[in-house]
Amino acid sequence: MRRDFCDGVGIARLLNATLVLPKFEVAAYWNESSGFADVFDVNYFIKQMSGFVKVVRELPPEISSKEPFRVDCSKRKGQFDYIESVLPSLLKHHYISITPAMSQRRDRYPQYAKAALCQGCYSALRLTKSLEKKANELLEAIPKPFLALHLRFEPDMVAYSQCQYSGLSPTSIEAIEAARGDDRKPWTGEAARIWRKRGKCPLIPNETAFILQAISVPTNTNIYLAAGDGLMEIEGLTSIYTNVVTKSALLSGEDFKSMHGNTKAALDYYVSINSDSYVATYFGNMDKMVAAMRAFKGLYKTLFLSRRAFSEFTSEGLEGKQLMKALWKVHKEDFVMGRGSALPDCFCEFKL
């Protein structure tokens, strides 16, 4: 959501449009119901965007009863031009909603749009005061120094990947099958082998632990687990790395128990940015944004574990010390300044 909203800021400036604060979609799986103002400091954002993009909290009365004209940009391929493709709809309907295009080239934005996007992402979006206070409370409670590990192995995520796994517990298998639905059947046969070899399958926690050992992360390392509820097979990690802490263990007050998924994710985001090192088992939106922000702040030790390398080596029959040595060679040069792809590197260097 943060990434899409950053894109929305840049697009609004490109189109010389007024930006309406978004309403978050309800996520059925997490029973989510929090809004933009539950996560971000609205007054601060509007003030910081003054002179870049006009922002309003609500629609003006004359169009508040209308449904926006929806422009779907998500499936566009190649270079996408918002001025050519979206501006005509805005001028005609006056009120539109868009799905940002994943294929857009933000580095080709004109300077004024880059400035707005940079301001929105890196300077104007901050957590609410109460949420930032809770995030700092969590940060203080974590034993130092520590590694933040963004581990992805939840039922919906595994189901979405369409991968099959052997050796999972009956509870995990049942949870994955319940999350699959009819349109996410797992790949089988040669298609499954190719899919896995391309690095499309999430790492199981014990595979993550194996790679961490291969890259010489000591087993007594303090690890903060940045992960959502419902994480499966976690014993595969905690049986090897015994100093693993979670936000639910460190924050047990009633205010934490009443938090939604978005606000809990914001805690993970804040801690991950401010960790001594950050390791992700996936290359999702949060990972991209964390890496971009860590790079912007000049922080080092950001690493994405290679699912593709792990799959290729294991399919070749490597195991034990041979597998560890091969994984070490793949990762040894990557544990450096984060290179976030959520925004081009040039944005990190852009001075307002």
What global pTM score does this model have? 0.88
Return the closest-CA partner of residue 10 out of 342, 283, 265: 342
Three-class SS string for 309-322?
HHHHHHHCCCCHHH
Give domain limits for the chain. Answer: 1-126, 130-153+202-337
Q: What is the pLDDT along the chain (352 residues), one digit of tens a residue?
A: 787 888 889 899 999 999 999 876 655 444 555 678 889 999 999 999 999 999 999 888 888 888 999 988 766 555 568 888 899 999 999 999 987 665 566 767 888 888 888 888 888 999 999 999 999 999 999 999 999 999 999 999 999 999 999 999 999 999 999 998 777 889 999 999 999 999 999 999 999 999 999 999 999 999 999 987 789 999 999 999 999 999 989 987 776 777 877 888 899 999 999 999 999 998 888 888 888 888 878 777 899 999 999 999 999 999 999 999 999 999 987 765 555 544 544 454 555 4
| CATH number attached to the domain at 130-153+202-337 | 3.40.50
Long-range CB contact pairs, 53-59, < 8 A, 24+ = 53/9, 53/12, 53/13, 53/18, 53/19, 53/116, 53/120, 54/18, 54/19, 55/18, 55/19, 55/20, 55/21, 56/18, 56/19, 56/20, 56/21, 57/20, 57/21, 58/20, 58/21, 59/20, 59/95
